[in-house]
């Protein structure tokens, strides 16, 4: 994780939400006015007491009581309006940030997400982004309100005597900034509160990842009787996390105690200073009563600012993780605005590729003429799937060029490429939705007849019709109510439905019995007129459909033709 300063995280987070600046200003103005109304209720109340005691007051008694009532009503209305405005901002902002994060993920996908811990990613998308709401709705505006409110109150208290104004300023600064800064730097084990907050966010991401991993590996855990160990590990992680949280809470509690003590001491100071000024005739009795009451009742925004300290560290840690995703550079950049390309065949020319330092393909050349079925064989791990991914441009080739219709695919519009290619991977993911919707993602405007035709080609139509709700049957959670072969055939149906000229099939028949394999091979033969197929398979029976078969290990040396 990249470490950024609190200031730069804050600046970036504010930058993310420029479109809502107007609403933010409105929330601050209403919040400021609301707080001032609240303070002036007590201040006018104290003037009213002075009036009752026979002292001179700026307004008549009736006007003062009426003002108190007016301020009370205004306070309520302004508070309501400020809160509504903040909620509106918060939810709009969440939508805005989620949009940006999903956009970033879409660009990073799939190359940069392959190695990433999915649980950690889920934690960023859900809890980290949600925590940013705290930053926008409950951090920026309280800080701005505290700033303006403090300025107004210092001027008001200072209007009785400058010394009292300066004392008030010191009090607000101490409570709102100095004390939280000092206490946030001191935590039990010598680490800063920021460290604890970052540790907490990372720990909770790790825990989500661990839980997800445990759920996915449930059958292995049961089979090898590792339930107890797994549970102990989970408990250890949870305990470590709650220990960090406890430490953070303890720090927050201690800070609160220090802040409250400081408020009482500053009030006492104000009382002493005003009494001394009164004795030396510098202020009248109102100059004692009103500033003391005004200071006493005006720490709200400064305390709110102080309280931000503990949540702010947490928010910055979350912000850092969100920014990490936004700043990640995609392995492959999207292409748009280029001349449209129609499929005329594909080729790899002297292509080399490595995942980091691990070299997978070296000097690979392969011609895939239009209308042909080309088979690729090779040892497990030799790079067959990788070669298909290069044709999909999930990764860019290190050296050499991957071409479609004679043009390097890094110069073909990404949208054209997706329309030209149907890729069936070894793992067919099924969404938690009906079978029909799961198929329709391959062609959003597909008619029911088209879906049915694709399913017949993939030899899965009869199975679907046998289900209680046919095509409307919901696929179970994680799709594990379907067998591997059924999932595979649904994957194939998607590939057929997508109806692209270039089909890339990675082990399309590995989980099928020979009967289903035969139906699918027949479909492939029938389809072949308008289609070009790149087929990876370990099964000789499947490879019989190919016009030419190459071994991926030999593609660089001998041309690699096997049959």
CB of 383 to ligand ATP, least distance (A): 4
DSSP string, 345-400: -EEEEEEEEEETTEEEEEEEEEEE-TT-EEEEE--TTSSHHHHHHHHHTSS--SEE
**Shorter beta-carbon distance to ligand ATP: residue 378 or 508:** 378
Q: What is the distance of C-alpha 547 from the center of its chain? A: 47
Distance CA(399)–CA(389), nearest Å, equals 15
CB of 79 to ligand ATP, least distance (A): 53
Find tokens 């009382």 and name the residue.
271
Which residues, listed in sequence order, are joined to residue 366 by a DSSP beta bridge? Answer: 348
Name the one range near ligand ATP by CB under 6 A: 44-52, 382-390, 475-483, 526-534: 382-390
Number of residues that bind ligand ATP (CB under 6 A): 13
Binding mask 247-276 toward ligand ATP (x if CB under 6 A, else -) reads: ------------------------------
Return the residue of 25, 84, 91, 114 that touches ligand ATP, per CB under 6 A: 114
Query: Does residue number 375 form part of the binding site for ligand ATP (CB under 6 A)?
Result: no
DSSP string, 232-287: HHHHHHHHHHHHHHHHHHHHHHHHHHHHHHHHHHHHHHHHHHHHHHHHTTSS-SHH
* Sign, Cα dihedral of 448, 453, 454, 456: positive
**Shorter beta-carbon distance to ligand ATP: residue 202 or 510:** 510
Nearest to 524, CA basis, from 515, 534, 512: 534
Return the residue of 86, 310, 382, 523 that touches ligand ATP, per CB under 6 A: 382
Find tokens 């996915």 and name the residue.
216
Largest CA distance in the chain: 112
CB of 379 to ligand ATP, least distance (A): 7
Query: Does residue number 380 form part of the binding site for ligand ATP (CB under 6 A)?
Result: yes
**Shorter beta-carbon distance to ligand ATP: residue 56 or 427:** 427
**Shorter beta-carbon distance to ligand ATP: residue 273 or 360:** 360
Token pair for 540: 């000789």
Return the residue of 55, 80, 355, 431 that touches ligand ATP, per CB under 6 A: 355
Query: Does residue number 385 form part of the binding site for ligand ATP (CB under 6 A)?
Result: yes
**Shorter beta-carbon distance to ligand ATP: residue 187 or 385:** 385
Coil/strand/helix, residue 431: coil
Return the residue of 287, 291, 383, 560 that touches ligand ATP, per CB under 6 A: 383
**Shorter beta-carbon distance to ligand ATP: residue 289 or 536:** 536
Return the residue of 43, 360, 454, 543 that touches ligand ATP, per CB under 6 A: 360
Query: Does residue number 526 form part of the binding site for ligand ATP (CB under 6 A)?
Result: no
Query: Does residue number 121 form part of the binding site for ligand ATP (CB under 6 A)?
Result: no
Q: Which DSSP letter does residue 178 get?
A: I
Q: What is the distance of C-alpha 18 from the center of its chain? A: 19
Contact residues for ligand ATP, defined by CB under 6 A: 114-115, 355, 358, 360, 378, 380-386
């Amino acid at each position: 994780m990249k470490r950024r300063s609190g200031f730069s995280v804050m600046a970036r987070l504010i930058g993310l939400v420029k479109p809502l600046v107007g609403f933010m200003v409105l929330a601050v103005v209403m919040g400021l006015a609301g707080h001032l109304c609240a303070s002036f209720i007590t201040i006018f109340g104290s003037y009213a007491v002075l009036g009752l005691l026979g002292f001179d007051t700026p307004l008549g008694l009736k006007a003062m009581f009426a003002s108190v009532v007016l301020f009370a009503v205004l306070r309520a209305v302004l508070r309501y309006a400020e809160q509504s405005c903040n909620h509106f901002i918060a939810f709009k902002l969440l939508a805005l940030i989620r949009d940006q994060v999903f956009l970033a993920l879409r660009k990073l996908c799939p190359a940069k997400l392959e190695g990433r811990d999915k649980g950690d990613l889920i934690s960023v998308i859900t809890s980290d982004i949600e925590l940013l709401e705290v930053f926008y709705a409950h951090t920026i505006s309280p800080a701005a309100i505290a700033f303006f409110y403090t300025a107004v109150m210092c001027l008001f208290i200072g209007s009785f005597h400058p010394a009292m104004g300066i004392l008030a300023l010191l009090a607000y600064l101490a409570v709102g900034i100095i004390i939280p800064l000092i206490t946030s730097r001191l935590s039990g084990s010598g680490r800063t509160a920021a460290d604890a907050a970052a540790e907490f966010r990372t720990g909770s991401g790790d825990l989500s990842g661990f839980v997800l991993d445990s759920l996915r590996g449930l059958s292995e855990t049961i089979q090898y009787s590792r339930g107890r160990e797994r549970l102990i590990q989970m408990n250890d992680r949870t305990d470590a996390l709650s220990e960090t949280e406890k430490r953070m809470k303890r720090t927050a509690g201690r800070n609160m105690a220090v802040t409250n003590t400081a408020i009482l001491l500053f009030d006492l100071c104000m009382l002493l200073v005003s009494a001394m000024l009164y004795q030396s005739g510098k202020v009248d009795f109102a100059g004692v009563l009103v500033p003391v009451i005004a200071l006493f009742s005006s720490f709200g925004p400064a305390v709110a600012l102080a309280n931000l300290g503990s949540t702010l560290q947490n928010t910055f840690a979350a912000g850092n993780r969100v920014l990490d995703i936004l700043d990640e550079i995609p392995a492959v950049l999207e292409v748009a605005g280029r001349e449209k390309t129609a499929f005329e065949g594909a080729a790899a020319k002297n292509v080399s590729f490595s995942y980091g330092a691990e070299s997978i393909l070296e000097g690979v050349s392969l011609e895939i003429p239009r209308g042909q079925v080309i088979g690729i064989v090779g040892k497990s791990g030799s790079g067959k799937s990788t070669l298909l991914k290069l044709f999909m441009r999930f990764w860019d080739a290190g050296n050499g060029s991957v071409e479609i219709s004679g043009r390097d695919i890094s110069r073909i519009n990404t949208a054209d490429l997706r329309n030209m290619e149907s890729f069936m991977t070894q793992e067919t993911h099924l969404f938690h939705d009906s079978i029909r919707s799961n198929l329709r993602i391959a062609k959003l405007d597909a008619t029911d007849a088209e879906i049915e035709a694709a399913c017949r080609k993939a030899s899965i139509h009869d199975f679907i019709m046998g289900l209680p709700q046919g095509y409307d049957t919901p696929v179970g959670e994680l799709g594990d109510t379907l067998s591997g072969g059924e999932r595979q055939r649904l994957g194939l149906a998607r590939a057929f439905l997508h109806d692209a000229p270039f089909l890339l099939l990675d082990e399309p028949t590995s989980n099928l019995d020979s009967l289903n394999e035969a139906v699918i091979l027949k479909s492939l033969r029938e389809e072949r007129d308008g289609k070009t197929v790149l087929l990876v398979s370990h099964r000789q029976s499947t490879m019989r459909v190919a016009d030419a078969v190459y071994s991926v290990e030999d593609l660089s040396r001998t041309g690699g033709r096997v049959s």
